[in-house]
Amino acid sequence: MNKTITKTNFKFKHQQSKYTGKVREVYKLDNEKLIMIATDRISAFDVVLSKGIPFKGQILNQIATRMMDKTKDIVPNWVTETPDPNVAIGLNCIPFKVEMVIRGYLAGHSAREYLKGKRMLCGVNLPEGLRENDKLPQPIITPATKADQGHDEDISKEEIINNNIVSLDDYLLLEKYTYQLFQRGSELASKQNLILVDTKYEFGKTKDGKIILIDEIHTPDSSRYFYKKGYSERQLRSEPQKQLSKEFVRQWLISNNFQGLDGQKVPEMSDSYVNEVSERYIELYEKIMGEVFEKADIQNINKRIRKNISSYL
């Protein structure tokens, strides 16, 4: 099986601290810059699975940084350099404690909640008579709290503001950016004969008070895509949609009796399934970006990353 990077333990010049997220590892430097390394870890239902997925970190980093570049006219972002296929370097800021989730279709989490009988999601009313994967009358924002550990939780705009998680003025700007980014993402997807179904955006505030886009955007980890061709026909026949996202991993977990609930055991991925997931991620990259994926050298990923970052610093 191909080699992967699932953890790092670097010591860089001017390093102050290290933060380990579900997938990314972030090194803070004393010159107010961050080094963000996308590992090959994969998470679903807010749980990190036991094995890395070959090339996943490279794929996520390259899609995210390219999409940041394609949306920087809408909102400034944190990225300043990409010295390695798995690495982005950029501005340190204070993250907002919410994820701005936006949905154009009833899919994934929203569909599961709707099928339970819920008609309000994060303070937003949903109409009766929707079927899974139907297009919503208009895109809706369904924020989630950003948890350092454990599950993110749905939260409404009113709860965010009333609990002083984000000020009203800042939230209105995040809302505006979210709608604009989703519109741009939908246009970019359409050019690739895809539908951007739902996605999430994260924002932070710089030392001088400017709101910027952070983390990742329009990747298969943060977004769900449908194939545009045949979408309407599949809906009419009540067939599952062909999609590009890591939903197939979630469905594999569900079929193995795991949804991140208390007492449930995470199933073990076989090597053959790991390689299948890797191939699916490569397909995701090529469909989303409209180009052939070029695999980086993975003979010694840690050594490669250390060398490329050190050369930059």
pLDDT at 159: 96
- Quick check: pTM over 0.95? no
* Separation between Cα atoms, residue 96 and residue 206, nearest integer Å: 11
Instruction: Please say if the pLDDT value at position 2 is more than 60.
Output: no
Residue 250, pLDDT > 90, answer: no
According to the model, what pLDDT value does residue 13 have? 87
pLDDT at 260: 84
- pLDDT (average), residues 282-292: 93
Cβ neighbours for 93, distance < 8 A, ≥ 6 positions apart = 78, 204, 205, 206, 207, 212, 214
Q: Is residue 98 predicted with pLDDT exceeding 70?
A: yes
Can you name the CATH fold of 15-93+273-312? Phosphorylase Kinase; domain 1 (3.30.200)
Chain segment 171-183, per-residue pLDDT in tens = 999 999 999 999 9
Residue showing tokens 């545009």: 228
**Cβ(32)–Cβ(92) under 8 Å?**
yes
Kindly tell me if the per-residue pLDDT of 198 is higher than 50: yes
What is the rounded average pLDDT of the residues 252-277? 89
Q: Domain residues of the chain, as ranges? A: 15-93+273-312
The mean pLDDT of 26-50, rounded to a whole number, is 90
Q: What is the pLDDT of residue 1?
A: 44
Most confident of 22-26, 108-112, 184-188: 184-188
| Percent over 90 (pLDDT), the chain | 77
The pLDDT value recorded for residue 179 is: 98
Average pLDDT estimate for 184-194: 97
What is the Cα–Cα distance from 289 to 163, expressed in whole angstroms? 39
Q: Which amino acid is at 224?
A: R
Percent of the chain with pLDDT over 70: 98
pLDDT at 56 over 70: yes
152 pLDDT exceeds 80?
no
Cα gap 260→313, rounded to integer Å:
40
Token reading at 180: 């604009």
147 or 235: which leads in pLDDT: 235
Please tell me which residue, 242 or 189, carries the higher pLDDT value. Answer: 189
pLDDT value, residue 91 = 94
- pLDDT for the residue numbered 150: 53
The pLDDT value recorded for residue 220 is: 84
**Mean pLDDT computed over 122-130:** 96
Give SS3 for 211. strand
Is 80 exceeded by the pLDDT of residue 148? no
| Distance (Å, whole) CA 144 – CA 35 | 25
CA 313/CA 307 separation, integer angstroms: 10
What average pLDDT is seen over the chain? 93
Per residue in 199-219, pLDDT tens?
Answer: 999 999 998 999 999 999 999
- Per-residue pLDDT, 50: 85
